[in-house]
A = this chain, B = another copy of it.
Amino acid sequence: MNNPSRLDRLRDAGYKLTNARTVVLNVIETHEGHMTSAEILDAVASRDSSIGRASVFRTLDLLTRLAIIRPTYTAGSATPTYVLMPDGHHHHIVCVQCHQTIEFEDCGLGSLAERLEGEFGVKLTGHLLEFYGICGACSEAGVVDDEV
């Protein structure tokens, strides 16, 4: 782990490679799947209690700007969860009933990305694809949401 390429992306973008940043990135890379900011704060504190909360939030913002992670809403509207975007992208299905998330790999969006870059004159570095629906378990539990 401690993937050097991601730390390099920080330096290449002109940011210092500090202890706080290294630990935060490490925590997220170590943990599989989504993490809330609270979980990240806890994990960081347990690895190095000298790191302040503010630096954790500042690092999350930075990593988001670099498209290394992405905040998303899977549960309520108050607290986001952060996901790592391993190769600049991430895809999942969110059950709107129980908030379970199912991750999947291929999306076949490469060609769409290229088209958009040409069409809008932007340089794309990543993407997030979220599907919403009712998972199998909730469906069986009898949710009233079948009509169009």
**A126 contacts across to B, CB distance below 8 A:** 131-133
A107 to B96, Cβ gap below 8 A? Answer: no
The verdict on A4 contacting chain B, using a C-beta distance below 8 Å, is no
Give the copy number: 2
Which of B12, B123, B139 is A134 in contact with, Cβ under 8 Å? B123
A107 pairs with B112, CB closer than 8 A = yes
Q: How large is the interface on A (under 10, 10 to 19, 20 to 34, 35 or more residues)?
A: 35 or more
Q: What is the interface of chain A mostly: helix, strand, loop, or mixed?
A: mixed
A125 contacts across to B, CB distance below 8 A: 96, 132-134, 145
Q: Which residues from B are CB-within-8-Å of A136? A: 120-122
13 A-B pairs with C-beta separation under 8 A: A13-B144, A60-B77, A64-B73, A66-B96, A73-B80, A95-B122, A104-B116, A108-B112, A121-B136, A123-B133, A124-B132, A125-B133, A129-B129
